[in-house]
Amino acid sequence: MKTHPNIRASADELRRRAKHRLREQPANGARIETKADTQRLIQELQIHQIELELQNEELKQAKAEVDAGLEKYTDLYDFAPVGYFSLDEQGLILDMNFTGASLLGVGRSRLTTRRFQLFVAPPSRPAFNAFLGKIFAGHEKQVCEASLLKAGRAVFWADLQAMSAVTISGARKWCRVAVIDVAARKKAEEAERRIELLAATNLRLETDNVRRRAGETALKKSEQRAHQLLEQSQQMQEKLRQLSRQILMVQERQRKEISRELHDKISQLLVGINVHLGIFTKAAAINPQGIQRAIAPLRRLVEESLQTVHRFARELRPAMLDDLGLIPALRAYIDDFPKLKGRRIQFAAFVGVEAMDNDKRTMLYRIVQEALVNVAKHAQASVVKVLILKAKGGVCLEIADNGKAFDVSRLVSGQWGQRLGLIGMRERVEMVGGQFSVVSTPGTGTTIRAEVPFGTNTISLGALQRHKM
């Protein structure tokens, strides 16, 4: 039989040590054989005895070390913080440590040969059986979480980790299962989930609070806006009441002026005509040949009466505007407008304006009429231009003078309460969907501009006809 090199080296070392010890022992007084072979035999026996003694000492020392290591590792195994169970393929408990028995609440002697499945809660048994099958189906580490029963009553969650093993002879398969109590971890996870749920709930509440505060802020702004609109509406109503009163006053003044004109002029003319008719009657009776001379003053009075009636009718509503159009009506009005020394009125019109409807043409006529009256009363201008020009999608009316300027901002400040001319112009333009503006610059004069769209009555091209006066 071939001897292992390490074993042979150990035997040689034992022989060397045995020879060394034999030399150190004193002679025991034994009888010395004379023959050399007898002495060598005795010496060999003594050396072999010493070898046996040394081997025995080493075996005792090795056994002591093995016992100490076994005791140490037994303590480590039994009192490990993790429960260890040795299970066979059916789940029978072959061995376990004290920690494992403590986890299940049953003594070690009562656990041996019992099935581990008895300590698995019914809901977790299918998962445990699958876990056990995977262990013995391969050599990889398997992990499983299961709910275990402690002493058959209390339930706790455990983390199971295992790997298959075999006995030295290879006759029986078994596995070592490490059981870790994760109840504290589960409680921590549950607490964490509750904290996360609480945090999410708090976040939703905070979001709701933010939305509520935003809603309250929006509601307050809406209330403030409503109050502002209410105040503006009240102010506008008050302005409308003032405008209504002023319009009524203006209408009353106009009626008074018309009444005065009718009484002072038309009535006087009619009285004059009546007197002249009486004179004419007497003259005709006395001197029939003087009829021609007597009727001349009467004709003049009748003509003056007709002119006065025509002027009143034109100011109220010119018939020429309806019969001939806007341009002839404006030209006739400008021709009859009172002339002052050194003042010229220039007029130019875009003939396409006649394509507008009657309301818009009337509005343009009234603006020119009102503007020229204002220029005559306040501007002290030497040149006035009245232009009706083609604009994009409509026409643009401009009345410009080189007279005195005024503060346009006062129109919206309520300080011109008694002057409705410009306010009335703006209202007329905006009623037909147009835009009205006034620019007044000291040293340059005032320009009134009204842009009015054609609406549905759009035309493609018009000519510009000028008439200077």
Single-letter residue type at 171: A
Q: Whole-angstrom Cα distance, residue 175 to residue 167?
A: 10
3-state secondary structure 251-306: HHHHHHHHHHHHHHHHHHHHHHHHHHHHHHHHHHHHCHHHHHHHHHHHHHHHHHHH
Q: Both tokens of residue 459?
A: 């035309």
Residues 326/365, Cβ–Cβ less than 8 Å = yes
How many residues in total does the chain contain? 469
Beta-strand pair 383-391/344-350: parallel
pLDDT of residue 1: 40
Handedness of CA 285, 289, 291, 296 (dihedral sign): negative
Residues 469/347, Cβ–Cβ less than 8 Å = yes
Beta-strand pair 445-453/464-468: unpaired
In angstroms, the first-to-last Cα distance of the chain is 151
pLDDT of residue 460: 35
Q: Both tokens of residue 371?
A: 């503007």
Handedness of CA 149, 151, 156, 159 (dihedral sign): negative
Nearest CA-CA partner of 43 in 58, 56, 55, 27: 27
Taking the CA atoms of residue 104, residue 110, residue 113 and residue 119 in that order, the dihedral angle to the nearest 10 degrees is -20
Residues 419/378, Cβ–Cβ less than 8 Å = no
Tell me the pLDDT of the chain (469 aa) as tens digits. 444 445 455 666 766 776 676 666 655 544 445 567 778 778 888 888 887 888 888 887 777 777 666 666 666 677 788 888 989 888 899 888 888 888 888 888 888 888 999 999 999 999 999 999 998 888 788 999 998 998 767 888 899 999 887 665 556 788 889 998 888 888 888 888 899 999 999 999 998 899 998 988 899 998 899 999 998 888 888 877 777 667 767 666 766 676 666 666 666 777 677 677 777 677 666 766 666 666 667 677 777 776 777 666 666 667 778 888 899 989 988 887 877 666 789 999 999 999 999 889 988 998 998 899 888 888 888 899 999 999 988 999 999 999 888 887 766 554 444 455 787 788 888 888 899 999 988 888 999 999 999 875 433 333 333 333 3
